[in-house]
Structure 1
Amino acid sequence: MDYAESLREGRLLRRYQRFLADIELGAGEIITAHVPNTGSLLGCLEVGQGARLSRSSDTTRRCPYTLEQIQVGTVWVGVNTHRANALVGEALKQGAIREVSGYARHRPEVPYGQQRSRIDWLLEDQGKSICYLEVKSVTTSLEPGIGLFPDAVSQRALKHLEELRDCVVHEGARAVLLFCVQRSDIRVVRPADAIDPAYGRLLRAVMRDGVEVLAYGVEPTRTGILWGPRIDVHCP
């Protein structure tokens, strides 16, 4: 995935009201950027960390800048959760996710389930086989090489697990949860049991019921985001 133009760099001053961050650019210029992430961004919000921003051409936007990446040590972490779905869409088109390749049609944001949520990707083939694909963005790492999800207690994430299980149990369909790891220093993904133990318990339960769980890494750069290798999911 390529950005429309190279990201502008600065340093993080603070995040507040969840969706706003103050960023210092060159020559002491301070701007407010939109933060497209509902999570806590645990481990990614130290004052003074490097920040990369995209700028919208939409003149009606309150915040022309969007926070795209945060530097954690020597690694850049993609914090724009909307990029994860788009990245997976590109990978599906290119056949880069071997485990779900072979479906002729990839439809985004399709209503499904008893609670009428929207599945990130509905995969269909000519034989009418269906796969429900839910994407989750992973940004948190509290130990070297280990990515954690979620980064805060999330009722919404629990609901998505339940709906994926319903697809398998009640429809006989295929359901896949894909962790898109938006940093290049992760070798294994685990449920964040210490942060949201209910999520970890339910994840293990839906896996026993037939929901498949995958993880793939990406590498954020200043000019775009590179699709990376499959990553192990450790969920004992």
Structure 2
Amino acid sequence: MAKSTTIHGIIVRRHWVHPSPFDPYLPMRVDDPLLQATFVERPNRFVIHARLAETGEVVRAHCPNPGRMHELLLPGAVVYLSRAEDPRRRTPYTLRFIEHPQHGQLISLNTQLPNQLFAEGLATGFFPQFQGYSRVQREVSVPHPSANGVVSRVDFRLSRPDAPACWVETKSVTLVHEDGLAEFPDAPTTRGRRHVEELAGLVAQGDRACVVFIVQRPDATRLRANRTTDPAFAQALEQAVAQGVEVYAYTCRVTLGCISLAGPIPVETSGMENKMEHG
């Protein structure tokens, strides 16, 4: 019998079938009613105004993706909103999806989904490079190697008795250029740079560490660090890979009804001394 849990408004059903690396697995079904609207403006990183298609009313919606998204959030772009569960919330709606203004590609904007997609992939054996670990911990605290004991959290710690721990940080990606090149980040991220520095420090201690980029759209063919937008992050990632941090990237199949991992894409970054992993 299938089991289901609700994560961030998305119903995740476990069907207990053996996953194929070429087929979508365990799609996260979007069971919340979605309202079509058109984007009007973005007064700050976390709020958008959108005009509901059905009524013409302009409403406030929470934007779960703090990235710039300049190529997506254009006036008139088609967006899809869900109602907030708490009627007292200052933003009564949440931005869930957007259609690319130029070619209509549907893109998921929920930055919380990559962690859950990765966790479900672990549970079903979707990732061959992460099989064999008997324990999975979430949001594990680690000290930053150069911040005088400041502690932050890594998304996942995988462990088993006969091997070093494996630390995994996931990153959500939405920026994809016309030629299929995905880039991360689309806005400077001090936090992201700190994460890869922490992973490099964990490798230096003898553990395994990985960054997994989840592109929440299907049209990316490769990924690289966005040196133009955030050269500090790009340099930190290059140095981390040179020190042994592994990097992977995956695209997603996205519909208004469900979201699922699709497959791996190569990661390219100029100056890498180490070839980055292709799933």
The residue type paired with residue 136 of structure 1 is K
Give the TM-score of the pair, scaled to structure 1: 0.94
**CA-to-partner distance for each residue in 1:26-54, whole Å, 9 max, x for gaps?**
23122111001222123221111111122
Look up the SS of the partner of 2:88 in the other structure. coil
**CA-to-partner distance for each residue in 1:65-101, whole Å, 9 max, x for gaps?**
1111111122111111111211211111111122212
Whether contact under 8 Å (2:225, 2:233) holds in the other structure is yes
Look up the SS of the partner of 1:141 in the other structure. coil
Structure 1 runs not aligned, ≥5 long: none
How many residue pairs get aligned? The number is 235
Whether contact under 8 Å (1:7, 1:223) holds in the other structure is no
Whether contact under 8 Å (2:176, 2:219) holds in the other structure is no
After the TM superposition, list the runs of 4 or more consecutive aligned residues in structure 1 that deviate by more than 4 angstroms.
Answer: none
Look up the SS of the partner of 1:136 in the other structure. strand
Task: Between 42-51 and 204-213, report the one with greater CA deviation.
Answer: 42-51
Q: Percent identity?
A: 35
Look up the SS of the partner of 1:81 in the other structure. coil
d(CA) in 2 for partners of 1:197, 1:42: 19
Q: Which residue, out of 118, 142, 145, partners 2:177?
A: 142
The residue type paired with residue 111 of structure 2 is T
Alpha-carbon shift at residue 6 of structure 1 (Å) = 4.1
Higher RCO (CA-CA < 8 Å; seq separation 6+): 1
Q: Which residue, out of 69, 81, 88, partners 1:53?
A: 81
Whether contact under 8 Å (2:81, 2:97) holds in the other structure is yes
Q: Given the alignment of the two structures, is residue 34 of structure 1 paired with residue 58 of structure 2, yes or no?
A: no
Whether contact under 8 Å (2:249, 2:267) holds in the other structure is yes
Q: Which residue, out of 136, 145, 148, partners 1:106?
A: 136
**CA-to-partner distance for each residue in 1:183-221, whole Å, 9 max, x for gaps?**
111010011111111221221111010000000111221
CA distance change for structure 1 residues 104 and 7 in 2, over 3 Å: closer, same or farther?
A: farther
The residue type paired with residue 83 of structure 2 is R
Q: Given the alignment of the two structures, is residue 154 of structure 1 paired with residue 189 of structure 2, yes or no?
A: yes
Give the TM-score of the pair, scaled to structure 2: 0.80
d(CA) in 2 for partners of 1:53, 1:89: 25
2:104 corresponds in structure 1 to 74
Query: Which protein is bigger by CA-based radius of gyration?
Result: 2
d(CA) in 1 for partners of 2:262, 2:217: 10
d(CA) in 2 for partners of 1:121, 1:203: 18
2:165 corresponds in structure 1 to 130
Look up the SS of the partner of 1:137 in the other structure. strand
Q: Which residue, out of 110, 114, 121, partners 1:84?
A: 114
Look up the SS of the partner of 2:69 in the other structure. coil
Let me know the Cα RMSD of the aligned residues.
Answer: 1.5
